[in-house]
Amino acid sequence: MRLHPDRQYLCPNTQFPIMSLATTYSPTDVEAKWYQRWQEQGFFKASANPKKTPYTIVIPPPNVTGVLHMGHMLNNTIQDVLVRRARMQGKEACWVPGTDHASIATEAKVVALLKEQGINKLDIGREKFLEHAFEWKEKYGGIILEQLKQLGASCDWDRTRFTMEPELTQAVLRVFVDLYRKGLIYRGVRMVNWDPQGRTAISDEEVIAKDVQAKMYHLRYEVVSSQLSVDSSNVGPDNGQLTTDNYITVATSRPETIMADVAVAVNPNDPRFSHLAGAKVRIPLLGREIPVIFDEYVSMDFGTGALKVTPAHDINDYNLGLKHNLPVIDILNDDGSLNEKAVLYVGQDRFAARRNIVKDLEEAGLLAKVEEYASIVQTSERTKAVIEPKLSMQWFLKMEHMAKPALEVVENDTVKLHPAKFKNTYRVWMENVRDWCISRQLWWGQQIPAYYLPDGSFVVALTPDEALELAREQSGNASLQLNDLRQDEDVLDTWFSSWLWPISVFDGFKDPDNADINYFYPTNDLVTGPDILFFWVARMIMAGLEYRKEVPFKNVYLTGIVRDNQGRKMSKQLGNSPDPLDLIQQFGADGVRTGMLFSAPAGNDLLYDEKLVEQGRNFCNKLWNAFRLVKGWQVDSTLPFANDKPVAWFNARLQAAIAELDDHFEKFRISDALMTVYKLVWDDFCAQYLEMVKPAYQHPIDAETLRHTTTFLETLLKLLHPFMPFITEELWHALAERGPREYVTVAAWPKPSTVENSEALLAGMDKALAVVSGIRTVRNQKGLGPNKPLTLVAKTDEQTLFTEYEAIIRKLGSLSELSYAEAGPAGAVSFVQGSGEFFIPMEGHIDLAAERARVEKELEYAQGFRESVMKKLGNEKFAQNAKPEVLERERQKLADAEGKITALEQALKSL
């Protein structure tokens, strides 16, 4: 802060005690204090209250592994703004917090931690591993929620849930059993996405395609037998090389999989290969013989036209294999290394094997060519490992049945997406969704409630006892014991628990008719990122419709990604992500919250810049100083009410702004809502209103003005509260005349009231302020100080109007005199506002030529403007086609322009 050396910043005068407050707002103590009190008061607690309208948000449960990052800051600030406003609107506002067990992410973390201690997951076994995992969760799992409190998040902490707690696990199991019995869950061998690092299957949605520069290897397979002998006349000259020396060349990007080859496929219409009917070829290096098959699936114009068929390691090859009844040879272990079936390179990792086989092929002369080739690889969203298509036994949920209604409710706006453009994305996904692979070969998660009988068949049941009963029934063997049953080793996908979140947090599965679920469900708004639109949002809609026959929420607000100011994603590697807690420390939670919201339209990425939170902090400071001013005023109750006009005007502005604010909220334009209050506070209240009513230094104010001003400030605090809860609560109480008062946290949200003559007031003040602005411009141009008393002579046909605002113009313009005249005095600088002309006598020394040039320029512009309007009005077709009100407006514009031109011409004459 820059301080003036001669100025007293702390005023010892006890007559104005508040002035001893620092000129800047200091958030740290204030925030801790109020958060604690809010909790003591139980403001965030919500319960089914039939007298109130419920308003519910369930938090997107952060991973237990997570620590607060900028994305959470944005996301949770928005939720808190919505919840706090709803609470003030008198709704029963319920924000349910919690965490997600994040199956694969957490397991990976715990595995890594154990590894550091020299412990292998497989050595200690499932039970012991889970002990470690829970220990870890107890230690770190709650950190992120504690951090949210510092942001001011007004969650009902008593309702904190965890997706893997016993109750929620029960919900998951119930749903699994139910869907299984409905025939929607099935078990089967399918080609799935296998993550060799996590050693588990993952769903299609957890796979990320990455562009890579890959290589295409052309391998030579020796033709060992053919019904037709190789006849060179059958082979075109160009294509000769494909089978030269009795070889067929096959293109592949994965040479290490040749040991799993079961055929080479060519297109039956391809003349280059027609002689190979019934032929066999030898796998390079390995020497195993495989047939040549013909299928139109093979493109003649891609690669060499010949395709190696490897059913175990490629979905297309798998389908081809099914069609041609080919065997499946899986040469990969779960961790991506080669197994004995590969015969060669056994034990090597797939990528090492690739390097080695390429070398060996080359040495053997079986590598015809290597091409650079732009391709994509599928990677695991969580571990980043390259995915292997793998044939394995997994559990699946049929999606078609659920996708249909879930699409419909978004199409017909029962669930509204904000911004609406995501509707398209959503539709495409819903129309193309495939069955959901829900089993994971992990331990951290809900174990699948399927129990295998000794004969290999299985039953699905909520509890082991129930399973035993079913098993006895199913097998007809009444002597079966629990020991004879073996529960499925796999756990369920994390999202198989999160999709139940809006229901399960209210115990809607355990007790589907309980008071909470009936009251709080469906929830109102969901705030989350578009990256989990399918993972989570779509599936919650499905679960909601399936289990409550009702959508889980009415609005989905999709935030953007927080990036750095160069547009890069924030990441640990780049080190471009600020620590949110440091930011809160430095700028205050309110400053950070508003900073985040300043630039965050729904669905757009937010380019984070520290300038934003600085702006937020500065806004807090502005508000703080407005408070200091008002609080410092002394009242003289003998003084008459001197500010009728400013009070009436600001009230009109305020009511208009409240209506505008509500409109922005309706449309989920949160940053626009913030900007509306920001400008209302900074521009209208501080820059204009307070300057109008502010008494001269150490002069008292009249009681009426103070009363109105205090009320205004209180209303502003209410409007600001959802955005900046801490400072508003602090000032709200500091503003209280005597004793404790109710909290602004639970104050009633202002309703816009209609103000009589509102439009006239607003328009009149605009004109007055334009004149003030004109005066200040002259001051600036002429290098006059802001307080040097000036004289203003006004020549206007709206004298009555200006008389009403005269006191304001005098005060804000620092005028010693304001008079009206028919003509301007000589030796004055003038400016034109509307059709009025305003003169400021300059005591002689003004530059006439410069003045003349300035006015002439303005005149020229006005004349040009008049020309264009006249031209438009003179156009017959315009006159015929334009709507009457448009015509009327054009005429008005013309009249205004003419008034201005006259005024300017007068001004020129008087110079």
717 binds RNA (CB under 7 A): no
- Using CB under 7 A as the binding rule, the residues of this chain from 374 to 393 that contact RNA are 375-376
What are 86's two structure tokens? Answer: 């709803």
Burial-class residue 503 by CB neighbours within 10 Å (0-12, 13-18, 19+).
Answer: buried
DSSP-assigned states of every residue in 453-488: -TTS-EEE-SSHHHHHHHHHHHHT-TT--GGG-EE-
Burial-class residue 215 by CB neighbours within 10 Å (0-12, 13-18, 19+).
Answer: middle
What are 777's two structure tokens? Answer: 């411009």
Q: Tell me which of 675, 734, 735, 870 binds RNA, using CB under 7 A.
A: 675
Q: Cβ 610 to RNA, closest distance in Å?
A: 10
For residue 118, how many other CB atoms are within 10 A of its CB?
7
Q: Give the span between the Cα atoms of 714 and 754, in whole angstroms.
A: 19
Q: Tell me which of 11, 143, 386, 755 binds RNA, using CB under 7 A.
A: 11
For residue 477, how many other CB atoms are within 10 A of its CB?
13
Bridge partners of residue 194, in order along the sequence: 201, 388
For residue 407, how many other CB atoms are within 10 A of its CB?
20
When the beta carbons of 197 and 586 are compared against RNA, the nearer one is 586
Q: Cβ 791 to RNA, closest distance in Å?
A: 18
- Using CB under 7 A as the binding rule, the residues of this chain from 472 to 531 that contact RNA are 530-531
- Using CB under 7 A as the binding rule, the residues of this chain from 260 to 299 that contact RNA are 297-299
- Using CB under 7 A as the binding rule, the residues of this chain from 199 to 258 that contact RNA are 204-205, 209, 251-254
Q: Cβ 629 to RNA, closest distance in Å?
A: 3
14 binds RNA (CB under 7 A): no
Pair type for strands 98-99 and 161-162: parallel
826 binds RNA (CB under 7 A): no
The answer to whether 305 and 298 have CB atoms below 8 angstroms apart is yes
For residue 739, how many other CB atoms are within 10 A of its CB?
5
Q: Cβ 183 to RNA, closest distance in Å?
A: 24
892 binds RNA (CB under 7 A): yes
Q: Which residues of 749-761 are buried (b: 16+ CB within 10 A; e: fewer)?
A: bbeeeebeebeeb
Q: Cβ 301 to RNA, closest distance in Å?
A: 7
Q: Cβ 699 to RNA, closest distance in Å?
A: 9
883 binds RNA (CB under 7 A): yes
Q: What's 687's DSSP letter?
A: I
Phi (first) and psi of residue 280, to 5 degrees: -120, 150
Q: Cβ 648 to RNA, closest distance in Å?
A: 19
Q: Nearest-5° angle of CA 895, CA 897, CA 902?
A: 95
12 binds RNA (CB under 7 A): no
Number of residues that bind RNA (CB under 7 A): 99
The answer to whether 71 and 563 have CB atoms below 8 angstroms apart is no
- Using CB under 7 A as the binding rule, the residues of this chain from 336 to 375 that contact RNA are 375
When the beta carbons of 458 and 534 are compared against RNA, the nearer one is 534
What mask of x and - would describe binding to RNA in positions 680 to 709, judged by CB under 7 A? Answer: --xx--xx--xx--x--xx-----------
Q: Nearest-5° angle of CA 899, CA 900, CA 904?
A: 120
Closest Cα partner for 771 from 822, 823, 816, 835? 835
58, 155, 162, 231 from 159: Cα distances, Å: 10, 8, 10, 80
Q: Cβ 244 to RNA, closest distance in Å?
A: 19
Strand order in the sheet with 815-820: 815-820, 790-795, 836-841, 828-833
Q: Cβ 775 to RNA, closest distance in Å?
A: 9
Q: Tell me which of 735, 882, 894, 908 binds RNA, using CB under 7 A.
A: 882
Structure-derived torsion over alpha carbons of residues 666, 672, 678, 681, reported in degrees to the nearest 10: -40
Closest Cα partner for 718 from 694, 693, 742, 691? 742
- Using CB under 7 A as the binding rule, the residues of this chain from 567 to 586 that contact RNA are 567
Q: Cβ 314 to RNA, closest distance in Å?
A: 6
What are 725's two structure tokens? Answer: 């809860």
Q: Tell me which of 355, 679, 733, 810 binds RNA, using CB under 7 A.
A: 679
- Using CB under 7 A as the binding rule, the residues of this chain from 594 to 653 that contact RNA are 598-599, 601, 604-605, 607, 611, 615, 617-618, 620-622, 625-626, 628-629, 632
Closest Cα partner for 579 from 5, 155, 69, 79? 69
Q: Tell me which of 15, 53, 424, 634 binds RNA, using CB under 7 A.
A: 424
What mask of x and - would describe binding to RNA in positions 841 to 880, judged by CB under 7 A? Answer: -------------------------------x--x-xx--
777 binds RNA (CB under 7 A): yes
- Using CB under 7 A as the binding rule, the residues of this chain from 98 to 127 that contact RNA are none
Closest Cα partner for 719 from 603, 623, 618? 623
Hey, what amino acid is at 892? Q
Q: Cβ 780 to RNA, closest distance in Å?
A: 4
Helices marked H in 572-669: 580-587, 589-598, 610-632, 644-666
Q: Tell me which of 315, 346, 755, 807 binds RNA, using CB under 7 A.
A: 315
130 binds RNA (CB under 7 A): no
Q: Tell me which of 1, 122, 826, 848 binds RNA, using CB under 7 A.
A: 1
Q: Cβ 692 to RNA, closest distance in Å?
A: 10
Q: Nearest-5° angle of CA 229, CA 230, CA 236?
A: 145
Stretch that binds RNA, among 91-99, 473-481, 635-643, 779-787 (CB under 7 A): 779-787
- Using CB under 7 A as the binding rule, the residues of this chain from 431 to 460 that contact RNA are 432
When the beta carbons of 44 and 678 are compared against RNA, the nearer one is 678
820 binds RNA (CB under 7 A): no
Stretch that binds RNA, among 465-473, 486-494, 517-525, 673-681 (CB under 7 A): 673-681
Stretch that binds RNA, among 142-150, 161-169, 453-461, 886-894 (CB under 7 A): 886-894
Using the structure block, give the residue that is written with the tokens 């069955």: 435
Using the structure block, give the residue that is written with the tokens 């607000």: 557
When the beta carbons of 509 and 732 are compared against RNA, the nearer one is 732
When the beta carbons of 521 and 831 are compared against RNA, the nearer one is 831
8 binds RNA (CB under 7 A): yes
Determine the angle formed by the axes of helices 400-411 and 422-432, rounding to 10 degrees: 160
When the beta carbons of 650 and 749 are compared against RNA, the nearer one is 650
The answer to whether 247 and 221 have CB atoms below 8 angstroms apart is yes
Q: Cβ 498 to RNA, closest distance in Å?
A: 17
Q: Give the span between the Cα atoms of 906 and 304, in whole angstroms.
A: 87
For residue 163, how many other CB atoms are within 10 A of its CB?
28
When the beta carbons of 432 and 754 are compared against RNA, the nearer one is 432
When the beta carbons of 208 and 462 are compared against RNA, the nearer one is 208
When the beta carbons of 691 and 804 are compared against RNA, the nearer one is 691
When the beta carbons of 432 and 481 are compared against RNA, the nearer one is 432
23 binds RNA (CB under 7 A): yes
Using the structure block, give the residue that is written with the tokens 């995501």: 422
